[in-house]
Structure 1
């Protein structure tokens, strides 16, 4: 697609809306099951046949579906990603009844955020991001979306660091436990702690117990703006820091530094501005602000925040998915000075 056509698509705003409609209606799954004509698809999805044919033609012109015969549709490599259970989890992200739709609404309020200088999500939905999503029971849940996303990169994190040198790891804002489960599965003496909101911790506890690792796992429900479990060999923050503004991010890192021993290691995993595709990272940067007031950062900006929290930079490893793993140790001359953070006090 040429730049002119890309601009025209972006200006119209219709393509993402049509794609979300197809995902919500599970159109790809119906086609995969053999319901490949407009009339059959309309019957299965409870939609108007004439308008559905227009939407499918619109998407077929853009390669989402194929139309081998008039009025008959097939999957392409693009629509395969819309199938239920696809590793990308794209169908759930696009489902209009789930958490993704609430996030989309905040993205649509970019003009309001520009004028107010405040995140859109709490203003639109009446509650801070994590508090609101924890209360949403319809549609694909945010924790399941986080889980699918974590599964896409966890094997690369395992390969990026010598985890076998640790005996106890605290995963700060660790979601449903994808990383800690993988670590315990790989290293049979490693003990882990996971801190997050109650819903994520409950999901992590259940699946880790089912995997047979419950005796080496400690769940902690709480806020990472409060004191953290102390004395671990390693503290991990995976896709956590970018959710918060500088003051809040510094407060989280100080809590980690306070909790660690003099020889503890702190591992921050983020997608950094100076190591990422500009189109992808600028989009994520806007989303982080619109949802939470957060921001994407350069390596230097992240090192500066960590240094102010008493951490000394050691090294950085880039993983194949484009995530950077930054390793820090406690700076020996540092003494904690804790300041209250502004925010809802919720983990990532």
Structure 2
């Protein structure tokens, strides 16, 4: 290897060492110990876990993940790297099986000493030898621990998937096993089922293109869009899992991330916040609880807003009693009925629709907007992997974001991979996906809006993208 190659390895090692020093100092100052991978439990509110959300610590963590991955990619045989990447579907398959077989809950009851594969396999009447092989693959990827031959225990990563119920209850009441959970397991199963199966047909869909067809259609033998397909009676359990899984994505956000972007408190009393496609209006409620002078309109399909009204009556009854919140059943591709909106908030909606449909939605909002109305789109903005800037970030206030230190990839590489997985996932099941800043600029213009500001929220992968009427 050339000296420049060795120099690159040294640089990567230096990035890792410097980041470890930063983390060590932060934990030492807080008189805390860094969480152990071997810990058989996980609680995001534990002080040791909460400190990982500190901006200084989280930045150091990004550098470690990016540098360690790039270092590994540099020194590993390219053939081995390519073939290992091609076979990562085995991890996905085994993760879903472990979740559906309630392995985490069985191991939680067994404690740190672990449980033999024959006892793990017994409730589902599976082959203990294969269960051991499956869990050994996961343990090799640092999910679960093999504490002695064929005996397995939870670790900090597997514990994230704990449904919080006894394993025997989960087996007896299978249709209710995800109800009451934090949603992390539901999201994992959604990813390793509908999305995984859809992505398996990506190549066929690209090679044999049919107008309007996406991988999901081939995987499940339907011409329906996923949302319609989920509402079939036979898919009731999948629909339940989808809803719980979407709620589970909140675990990736810090509690106050929503308030590190657009300045909701700057809105005058009586301002009207319209939560477009807002489901039960949970995001709007979070904003209104801190800003009770805001009037809120929650818009979604009839069954969703009916659930939303119940949710608000239970969780924020004062706003309901004071008639400061309204619930409107609406297809957001239809004309927008609210003509006095201060803010149209569109959170986690546009990624579900291709550019033509997303622009149609935005045009409906533009038709109803006043000159002072603001559009706030809350979505992930996909960063480029190129070190060459498009120049668009410099032109939009707030859009520029830090770049990883050399010799890391400018977008922190594998450390930011969740956003790119998400992009592919949404494409596979909806035919759309996440967008770059340039994509958003074009989409806003097509919908009658000018993108004027971006807030990259601390503790979140979501950004608040602000537009004004053209």
For 1:267-286, list aligned pairs within 5 A. 267-274=376-383, 279-286=417-424
1:323 to 440, 462, 470: 462
Deviation at 1:284, TM superposition (A): 2.8
Instruction: Give the Cα separation in 1 of the matches to 2:191 and 2:383.
Output: 29
Deviation at 1:99, TM superposition (A): 7.8
Change (3 A) 1:203 1:100: farther
Match in the other structure for 2:297: 193
Are the aligned partners of 1:147 and 1:178 in contact in 2 as well (CA < 8 Å)?
no
Instruction: Give the Cα separation in 1 of the matches to 2:370 and 2:118.
Output: 66
For 1:139-288, list aligned pairs within 5 A. 139=238, 140-150=240-250, 152-153=252-253, 155-164=256-265, 165=267, 167-211=271-315, 212=317, 213-215=319-321, 216-230=324-338, 231-274=340-383, 279-288=417-426
Instruction: Give the Cα separation in 2 of the matches to 1:148 and 1:239.
Output: 14
Which runs of 5 or more structure 2 residues have no equivalent in the other structure?
Answer: 1-68, 165-179, 385-410
Instruction: Give the Cα separation in 2 of the matches to 1:260 and 1:158.
Output: 24
Aligned: 1:120 with 2:215: yes
Match in the other structure for 1:66: 145
Are the aligned partners of 1:268 and 1:325 in contact in 2 as well (CA < 8 Å)?
yes
SS, match of residue 262 in structure 1: coil
SS, match of residue 138 in structure 1: helix
Deviation at 1:179, TM superposition (A): 0.3
Stretch deviating more after TM superposition (4-13 or 66-75)? 4-13
Change (3 A) 1:17 1:99: closer
Instruction: Give the Cα separation in 1 of the matches to 2:191 and 2:314.
Output: 26
Q: Deviations over 1:229-284 (max 9, x none)?
A: 31211111112222222211111111111122221110012211236666444433
Change (3 A) 1:151 1:93: closer
Instruction: Give the Cα separation in 2 of the matches to 1:15 and 1:56.
Output: 10
Aligned: 1:104 with 2:242: no
1:15 to 84, 87, 91: 91
1:305 to 425, 443, 451: 443
Q: Aligned residues, how many?
A: 329
Change (3 A) 1:201 1:330: same
Are the aligned partners of 1:242 and 1:296 in contact in 2 as well (CA < 8 Å)?
yes
Are the aligned partners of 1:92 and 1:100 in contact in 2 as well (CA < 8 Å)?
no
Are the aligned partners of 2:92 and 2:192 in contact in 1 as well (CA < 8 Å)?
no
Instruction: Give the Cα separation in 1 of the matches to 2:247 and 2:159.
Output: 20
- TM-score, normalized by length of structure 1? 0.85
Match in the other structure for 1:336: none
Instruction: Give the Cα separation in 1 of the matches to 2:206 and 2:332.
Output: 29
Deviation at 1:151, TM superposition (A): 6.0
**Structure showing greater Rg:** 2
Change (3 A) 1:145 1:205: farther
Deviation at 1:6, TM superposition (A): 5.0
Are the aligned partners of 1:238 and 1:268 in contact in 2 as well (CA < 8 Å)?
yes
Instruction: Give the Cα separation in 2 of the matches to 1:285 and 1:293.
Output: 10
Change (3 A) 1:18 1:50: same
Are the aligned partners of 2:186 and 2:242 in contact in 1 as well (CA < 8 Å)?
no
Q: Deviations over 1:13-66 (max 9, x none)?
A: 311111111112121121112272222222233322222122122222221111
Change (3 A) 1:37 1:176: farther
Over aligned residue pairs, what C-alpha RMSD do you find? Answer: 2.6
For 1:333-344, list aligned pairs within 5 A. none
Are the aligned partners of 1:150 and 1:178 in contact in 2 as well (CA < 8 Å)?
no
- TM-score, normalized by length of structure 2? 0.64
SS, match of residue 141 in structure 1: helix
Deviation at 1:87, TM superposition (A): 8.6
